[in-house]
Chain A
């Protein structure tokens, strides 16, 4: 299958388990010539990169990290479907030399697929310093494919890897060693399935491979076979699988026995085992109490950077870029109709432009996340928090994204990508907007101070607690009822610690910032313009605008919460950004935006304390802001889930606010 050298691009898939340095190798191979998108119809990132060598074009495809080729997760399904169906010209299997035995499981599966394969034996330096000696020749002999020892983060061995890939592609597929043989009992089962399924049937996978996967209980292969097989034959297949549901265990064991044997022959430990620095660090970082404290300290550090360095930059951007360009535009458009000036300054710059000033804060957050991820700390954070998260139907992995929501819900929603299982990831995204973000705290602070003086802190605190209680309840209900039976288990590798790779960290940070900019430039922009239009037409006076009329329409519901139409309009504009409520009230009540004192006095004159409490609760639980909605849509790739998030929060916020006000009235408190 040697191809004409100048004819076609050579496709090389990069496969490996998580934490093997796959991204680092991919970056070393392709540099900045990479393209990041999504796998068709999935939220999983697809990275491809071009490498040119001797007039030949290599296209590297970075497959999602996966421990096996059975479709237990979306990532694994994508990786193996690409390998088994798209049949790349070669596969680079990257393995961590310091944890070779476990990594050989995936190699074994790749060999059984029979594609031209090269093993990249990464992290040789870590293995050596841990006292491990890998005999590369023995390993090559046992695997039957070339093995290239390397240290991807310092680019050692990258050239040799490329040369080897070229040789393998040109030399045609030297059939790799087939890995372990199945036991006679398993071979018999494969033969039985083979006899049932007509050879004329066009299975979209290599036949024998697909039969073994069926025995392993692979859901997606079951589904695709069921769809194309005659019903009576499918019943036969099903009964074979049901009688032998232990096959999964046997096949996995045979692969691991082979991995252990290969490991035993190729790896020696001449100087005995050494305790690494990381293992000593873990005595604190995974300690039930110490680990929580260390985690809290780390989060505090990140927050400190976000709100000191990041917020300063944000203010600077706001004063110098947003305000100036708005003013400049207003001057330049002197002769234009008022509405067009307003569209550009209030709608465009005031909406999407304002959101963009959050970039410094988000960049710091994303950078910190990328470093913690690359170092290998994330799994520890998930470990120490699992005990608490389990009580609300989530697992440890969800804690970090939710925690980030205290600053702003958008990074919480975008950060939910680190949660592996789909059900847990969706649950995390759906409850993330209930984390009381900084913008909402601004509004509460104003109301609490205006109405409750000395008790303001107590009121604010109870509102935060209320939000967390609602969050816990929502998470519990969503995971129990919507994703019933899909409870994710907590079984997670604790990777070795590594010094972070600057290139990997910066590329990951840049990519996340880019996603946010795209979000602000598209969905958030459109939504800001719509909200602007609603508040400007048919009259630029907000009272007579569409928004004003909607507010009046909502007055009957508002009445149940003790709120008049002005408060409802203020609430509606919080959809743009939560703190917008204050600006809107300033305009409607005619006190001006800046003068908090006058606004507070005016507020106490138009509503009773009970209504104020119900309004704070309403504001705390109300639908996510435009940016969050856009982020939810981007991360779930579904308008249905996005609509669900908006709808359930709308209902909860109204119900809670009505209960608060009606209870207060019943007991005659503060009305």
Chain B
């Protein structure tokens, strides 16, 4: 699998696209919650629903997670082709 070197906000992935979590930014409470729910660096996430605005749904570690739009822009992923 060729890995694109671009690190992009998670919220910019289109449905069906996959990325590897590279970086979490934002407040401590937010980062802690993401970590606990499985968004640790190196985790593969697949975008399930992203309408371009409003919250998104991603799939990771066999479960699905909903994130607000703002939150989805604070998680950065290495986009996979």
Does A489 count as interface, using CB distance less than 8 angstroms? Answer: yes
Q: In the bound complex, do residue B62 and residue A249 qualify as a contact, i.e. CB atoms below 8 Å apart?
A: no
Known: A70-B36, A286-B49. A101 touches B64 (CB 8 A): no
Does A260 count as interface, using CB distance less than 8 angstroms? Answer: yes
Which one of B28, B36, B62 contacts A252 once the chains associate, using CB atoms below 8 Å? B36
Known: A288-B54, A383-B55. A490 touches B61 (CB 8 A): no
Closest chain-A Cβ to B32's Cβ sits at a distance in Å of: 5
Which one of B27, B62, B65 contacts A100 once the chains associate, using CB atoms below 8 Å? B62
Report the separation of the CA atoms of residues A387 and B66 in the bound assembly, to the nearest whole angstrom. 12
Q: In the bound complex, do residue B28 and residue A217 qualify as a contact, i.e. CB atoms below 8 Å apart?
A: yes
Known: A72-B29, A102-B37, A248-B32. A494 touches B68 (CB 8 A): no
Report the separation of the CA atoms of residues A387 and B51 in the bound assembly, to the nearest whole angstrom. 11
Which one of A68, A102, A248, A491 contacts B68 once the chains associate, using CB atoms below 8 Å? A491
In A252-288, which residues have CB < 8 Å from any B CB?
252-253, 256, 260, 286, 288
Report the separation of the CA atoms of residues A646 and B63 in the bound assembly, to the nearest whole angstrom. 43
Q: In the bound complex, do residue B41 and residue A383 qualify as a contact, i.e. CB atoms below 8 Å apart?
A: no
Does A395 count as interface, using CB distance less than 8 angstroms? Answer: yes
Q: In the bound complex, do residue B36 and residue A493 qualify as a contact, i.e. CB atoms below 8 Å apart?
A: no
Residue of A nearest to B39 (CB): A491
Q: In the bound complex, do residue B29 and residue A489 qualify as a contact, i.e. CB atoms below 8 Å apart?
A: yes
Most B Cβ at <10 Å: residue of A248, A288, A491, A494: A491
Closest chain-B Cβ to A638's Cβ sits at a distance in Å of: 22
Q: In the bound complex, do residue A249 and residue B35 qualify as a contact, i.e. CB atoms below 8 Å apart?
A: yes
Contacts of B35 in A (CB 8 A): 248-249, 252-253
Report the separation of the CA atoms of residues A248 and B27 in the bound assembly, to the nearest whole angstrom. 13
Q: In the bound complex, do residue B68 and residue A286 qualify as a contact, i.e. CB atoms below 8 Å apart?
A: no
Closest chain-A Cβ to B31's Cβ sits at a distance in Å of: 7
Does B2 count as interface, using CB distance less than 8 angstroms? Answer: no
Encoded as 1 (CB less than 8 Å from any A CB) or 0, chain B from 60 to 81 comes to 0111111111110000000000
Does A396 count as interface, using CB distance less than 8 angstroms? Answer: yes
Does B6 count as interface, using CB distance less than 8 angstroms? Answer: no
Q: In the bound complex, do residue A72 and residue B42 qualify as a contact, i.e. CB atoms below 8 Å apart?
A: no
Q: In the bound complex, do residue B67 and residue A491 qualify as a contact, i.e. CB atoms below 8 Å apart?
A: yes
Contacts of A490 in B (CB 8 A): 55, 66-68, 71
Report the separation of the CA atoms of residues A429 and B15 in the bound assembly, to the nearest whole angstrom. 36
Q: In the bound complex, do residue A99 and residue B66 qualify as a contact, i.e. CB atoms below 8 Å apart?
A: no
Q: In the bound complex, do residue B62 and residue A494 qualify as a contact, i.e. CB atoms below 8 Å apart?
A: no
Encoded as 1 (CB less than 8 Å from any B CB) or 0, chain A from 235 to 246 comes to 000000000000
Does B24 count as interface, using CB distance less than 8 angstroms? Answer: yes
Cβ-Cβ contact count across A and B, 8 Å cutoff: 106
Contacts of A386 in B (CB 8 A): 54-55, 66, 68
Most A Cβ at <10 Å: residue of B36, B41, B55, B62: B36
Does A32 count as interface, using CB distance less than 8 angstroms? Answer: no
In B8-67, which residues have CB < 8 Å from any A CB?
24, 26-38, 40-43, 49, 51, 53-55, 57, 61-67
Report the separation of the CA atoms of residues A525 and B35 in the bound assembly, to the nearest whole angstrom. 47
Q: In the bound complex, do residue A101 and residue B36 qualify as a contact, i.e. CB atoms below 8 Å apart?
A: no
Q: In the bound complex, do residue B63 and residue A68 qualify as a contact, i.e. CB atoms below 8 Å apart?
A: no
Does A67 count as interface, using CB distance less than 8 angstroms? Answer: yes
Q: In the bound complex, do residue B37 and residue A67 qualify as a contact, i.e. CB atoms below 8 Å apart?
A: yes
Contacts of B65 in A (CB 8 A): 491-494
Report the separation of the CA atoms of residues A248 and B70 in the bound assembly, to the nearest whole angstrom. 22
Closest chain-A Cβ to B53's Cβ sits at a distance in Å of: 7
Contacts of A396 in B (CB 8 A): 55
Closest chain-B Cβ to A648's Cβ sits at a distance in Å of: 27
Residue of B nearest to A267 (CB): B62
Q: In the bound complex, do residue B40 and residue A253 qualify as a contact, i.e. CB atoms below 8 Å apart?
A: yes
Contacts of B28 in A (CB 8 A): 217, 248
Q: In the bound complex, do residue B62 and residue A383 qualify as a contact, i.e. CB atoms below 8 Å apart?
A: no
Report the separation of the CA atoms of residues A248 and B65 in the bound assembly, to the nearest whole angstrom. 21
Does A443 count as interface, using CB distance less than 8 angstroms? Answer: no
Report the separation of the CA atoms of residues A255 and B58 in the bound assembly, to the nearest whole angstrom. 21
Most A Cβ at <10 Å: residue of B30, B31, B33: B33
Which one of B32, B38, B61, B68 contacts A217 once the chains associate, using CB atoms below 8 Å? B32
In A56-75, which residues have CB < 8 Å from any B CB?
67-68, 70, 72
Report the separation of the CA atoms of residues A101 and B40 in the bound assembly, to the nearest whole angstrom. 13
Q: Which 4 A-B pairs have the closest CB atoms?
A: A490-B68, A387-B54, A252-B35, A494-B64
Besides A256-B43, A493-B64, 13 new A-B residue pairs in contact (Cβ under 8 A), listed by A number: A67-B37, A99-B63, A248-B35, A249-B41, A256-B38, A288-B51, A383-B66, A387-B69, A390-B70, A489-B29, A489-B68, A491-B67, A494-B57
B-binding residues in A (CB < 8 A): 67-68, 70, 72, 98-102, 105, 216-217, 248-249, 252-253, 256, 260, 286, 288, 379, 382-383, 386-387, 390, 395-396, 489-494
30 contacts across the A-B interface (CB closer than 8 A):
A67-B37, A70-B36, A72-B29, A72-B36, A101-B38, A102-B38, A216-B32, A248-B35, A252-B35, A252-B36, A256-B38, A256-B40, A260-B61, A288-B54, A386-B54, A386-B55, A386-B66, A390-B70, A395-B68, A396-B55, A489-B33, A489-B70, A491-B33, A492-B66, A493-B37, A493-B63, A493-B64, A493-B66, A494-B63, A494-B64
